[in-house]
């Protein structure tokens, strides 16, 4: 079975641009969460979606948004990029049968210049 | 809001040494606790978890952790480390009945010297 897949792997953008990151959950998982991991820090929660509805939101500005599609895949959008948005963005999926166990993808490395 | 503290930023050990990585959390209610590991160049993987029951939980690769509720701690242990254990280790807490999110500590970088 395929794990959580994220695309693209790496991305370079300039300040002020917009970026869209994509995530496909493990087959059968209906919940997707997004995390930001800055170098030297633990992942920070951004959003959780379940059955296409937002279930949780972390302490991130409105420039960050996300959505989940009928096939449970998800997009994370970041507008008006800042240098500080440079980070590894992680997607995790989970199922109701596995409790709160989050299974992570390899992440998208975003560099903002 | 819940928070997680990992006391050791970088730990360096020789092979066969015993390991204990500290983790403390703050949250007044029921929690689910996790240790994740990130090997160089790889994605985050679940090492072990605690939901309820026996506070001593065993994970993959010989790791174990003990939940001590009175101390709000969930320390990770391994009796004898190997060079392949070199990785970043993250403690995380899910506060049941609270915000639906996983809160991570800052991580401990473990370096094993052959």
SS (H, E, C) B22-83: CCEEECCCCEEEEEEEECCCCCCEEEEEECCCCCEEECHHHCEEEEEHHHCEEEEEECCCCH
Mean pLDDT estimate for chain B:
93
Instruction: Give the chain A residue whose CA is nearest to the CA of B102.
Output: A45
- Tell me what pLDDT residue B98 has: 62
| Minimum-distance CB partner of B102 among A40, A45, A105 | A45
**Which 8-state DSSP code applies to residue A25?**
P
DSSP-derived letter for residue A72 is S
Read off the pLDDT of residues B30-77 as tens digits, 9 standing for 90 and up: 889 999 999 988 999 999 999 999 999 999 999 999 999 999 999 999
| Residue among B90, B94, B101 whose CB faces A42 most closely | B90
B12 backbone dihedrals φ, ψ, rounded to 5°? -120, 125
3-state DSSP assignment of residue B10? strand
B3 Cβ under 8 Å from any chain A Cβ: no
pLDDT for residue B97 is more than 90: no
DSSP A65: E
CA within 13 Å, CB half, B69: 11
CA–CA separation, A88 and A8 (whole Å):
11
Q: Which residues of A touch B100 (CB under 8 A)?
A: 48, 55-56
Q: pLDDT category, A40, cuts 50, 70, 90?
A: confident
The secondary structure of residue A84, as a DSSP letter, is G
Residue A104: list chain B partners with CB under 8 A. Answer: 36, 43-45
Burial-class residue A91 by CB neighbours within 10 Å (0-12, 13-18, 19+).
Answer: buried
CA distance A19 to A80: 9
DSSP3 helix / strand / coil % (chain A, rounded to 5): 5, 50, 45
How confident is residue B28, by pLDDT bands cut at 50, 70 and 90? confident
What does the mean pLDDT of chain A come to?
A: 94
Q: Which residues of chain B make contact with A55, given a CB cutoff of 8 A?
A: 100
What backbone torsions phi and psi does residue B71 show, to the nearest 5 degrees? -105, 0
Q: Are A39 and B40 in contact (CB under 8 A)?
A: no
Q: What CA–CA distance (Å, rounded) separates B75 from A58?
A: 26
Whole-angstrom CA distances from B24 to B69, B81, B89 are 10, 22, 14
- CA dist A83 and B89 (Å) reads 27
């Amino acid at each position: 079975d395929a794990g959580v897949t994220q695309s693209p792997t790496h991305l370079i953008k300039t300040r002020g641009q917009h970026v869209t990151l994509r995530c496909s959950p493990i087959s059968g998982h209906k919940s997707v969460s997004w995390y930001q991991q800055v170098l030297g820090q633990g992942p920070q929660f951004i959003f959780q979606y379940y059955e296409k509805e937002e279930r949780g939101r972390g302490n991130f500005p409105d420039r960050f948004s996300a959505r989940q599609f009928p096939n449970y895949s998800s997009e994370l959008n970041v507008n008006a990029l800042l240098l500080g948005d440079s980070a590894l963005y992680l997607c995790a999926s989970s199922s109701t049968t596995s409790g709160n166990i989050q299974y992570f993808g390899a992440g998208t490395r975003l560099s903002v210049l | 809001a819940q928070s997680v503290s990992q006391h050791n930023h970088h730990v360096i050990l020789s092979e066969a040494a015993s390991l204990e990585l500290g983790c403390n959390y703050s949250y007044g209610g029921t929690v689910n606790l996790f240790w994740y590991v990130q090997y160089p160049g790889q994605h985050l993987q679940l090492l072990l978890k605690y939901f309820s029951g026996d506070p001593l939980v065993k994970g993959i690769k010989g790791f174990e952790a003990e939940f001590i509720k009175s101390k709000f701690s969930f320390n990770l242990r391994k009796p004898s480390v190997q060079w392949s254990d070199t990785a970043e280790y993250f403690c995380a807490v899910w506060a049941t009945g609270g915000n639906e999110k996983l809160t991570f500590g800052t991580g401990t970088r473990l370096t094993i010297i052959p």
